[in-house]
Amino acid sequence: MARTFKWVLLVWCLWFGLAQAKSSNEADQAATRAVIQAQLDAFAQHDAEKAYSYASDDIKAMFQNAVIFVTMVERNYPVVYHPASVQFLAFSLQGDVARHTLQMTDQDQTLWNVYYVLTRNDKGQWKISSCQIEKVQGELI
């Protein structure tokens, strides 16, 4: 009887731990997705301060103010600054680092893969720490 109880307790603990991890993963996915979407919305509204507020401290150290940051995004990442469409494809989480893969089309209907990395700061907030774009080869169907 004691052995059966231990197995039931072990199975319950494993199930509860997995359920908690899944719930946490889903919450982090939703939170990080919301940060990316909020920054995209800020770009669309030409709200430099708001867009800059979603950047990590490391990004802010490279671009000392919102105007410099948004100017860089507009020049180097036009698909991110003003996408015609956005689709979230994949998510992964390792501790305090989250990765999202998106596909975006630009105003010329060119398809891009966009890779975001977000980090959780010491206040528990998710911030965008990097974004890379890659033009998809071929034609948009």
In a domain, 119, yes or no: yes
Q: What is the pTM of this model?
A: 0.81
Rounded to the nearest integer, the mean pLDDT of the chain is: 87
Q: Which residue range forms the structural domain that includes residue 21?
A: 2-135
Provide the pLDDT confidence category of residue 111 given band limits of 50, 70 and 90. Answer: very high
List the CATH number of the domain containing 103. Answer: 3.10.450.50
- Does residue 140 fall inside a structural domain? no
Residues 6+ apart with CB under 8 A from 51: 39, 42, 43, 66, 69, 70, 73
pLDDT, one tens digit per residue, over 41-51 is: 999 999 999 99
Q: Which of 113, 114, 115, 119 is nearest to 93 (CA)?
A: 119
Q: What is the pLDDT of residues 52-78, one digit of tens each?
A: 999 999 999 999 999 999 999 999 999
The mean pLDDT of 10-21, rounded to a whole number, is 42
Q: What's the total number of domains in the chain?
A: 1
Report residue 111 as tokens.
Answer: 């398809």
- 141 within a domain of the structure (yes/no): no
